[in-house]
Structures are given as C-alpha cells and as structure tokens.
C-alpha cells in the first residue's frame, strides 16, 4: 500500500515569507507526528496529532510554527515569517494507533531552505 507522502519535496523561500508543508499519512493511521532534522542532527520532535487534535505541541520552536490536521488524515505544518535557522528537513510520520508505542512510518521529508 501507499506509504506516508509529503509535499513539496523541496522548498526554497526568502526570509520573512510563510511556507506550508503537507503530509499525507498512511490510510487508517490515527497518529501523526512532525519532526525536524537539521544537518548532522537527530530528529527533533515538533508536534503530535491524535486524530484531529494535538495533545502535545511542546516541540514547536516558536509561535511562528503551527500545524493542523483535518479529517483525521492530511496535516499541514505552517511556518510564518521564515528565518534562516528554519532551514532543515521536515519529516512527517504516522502510526496505526494513537496513544501507544507503535511503529512510526516516515515520509520522505520536505527540504526547506530559507535564503
């Protein structure tokens, strides 16, 4: 079956612009996660969705970052007024059951470059 997909695969933007990153989880997966991976670093947790609600937004770096999920499926991560330090790979993952430790399946990521 289809895996997790993300779009765009690459995004180049100018400092100060807003960007939207999209994630399509595996069909039927109730849990969805966003991570950020900077060059040579591990995966930094950003936010977790259980269905359409986000019980944990603790990883969002600032109030310029927000995310939503609609219909228990697609999620959008929005970064407003982008800064150069936002440049990174943004990874989305989904798992079958929310609230438990299940295998997380990752998407290919969106490589964001802020000039």
Partner 1 sequence: GENVEQHPSTLSVQEGDSAVIKCTYSDSASNYFPWYKQELGKRPQLIIDIRSNVGEKKDQRIAVTLNKTAKHFSLHITETQPEDSAVYFCAVGGSNYKLTFGKGTLLTVNP
Q: Contact positions toward partner 1, by CB under 8 A? A: 4, 31, 33, 35, 40-45, 48, 50, 56, 91, 95, 98-101, 103-109
CB of 3 to partner 1, least distance (A): 8
Question: Residue 63 is encoded by which pair of tokens?
Answer: 């109030």
CB of 6 to partner 1, least distance (A): 9
Residue 9 per-residue DSSP state: S
User: Is the N-terminal amide bond of 8 cis, ω within 30° of 0?
Assistant: yes
CA 84 to chain CA mean position, Å: 18
Q: Which is nearer to partner 1, 7 or 50 (CB)?
A: 50
CB of 39 to partner 1, least distance (A): 11
Angle CA(54)–CA(56)–CA(59) in degrees, nearest 5?
120
């Amino acid at each position: 079956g289809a895996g997790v997909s993300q779009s765009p695969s690459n995004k180049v933007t100018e400092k100060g612009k807003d960007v939207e990153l999209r994630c399509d989880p595996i069909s039927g997966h109730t849990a969805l996660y966003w991570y950020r991976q900077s060059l040579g670093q591990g995966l930094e947790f950003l936010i977790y969705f259980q269905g359409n609600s986000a019980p944990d937004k603790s990883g969002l770096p600032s109030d310029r970052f927000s995310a939503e999920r609609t219909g228990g499926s697609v999620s959008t991560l929005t970064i407003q007024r982008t800064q150069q330090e936002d440049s990174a790979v943004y990874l989305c993952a989904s798992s079958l059951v929310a609230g438990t430790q299940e295998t997380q399946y990752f998407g290919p990521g969106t490589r964001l470059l802020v000039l």
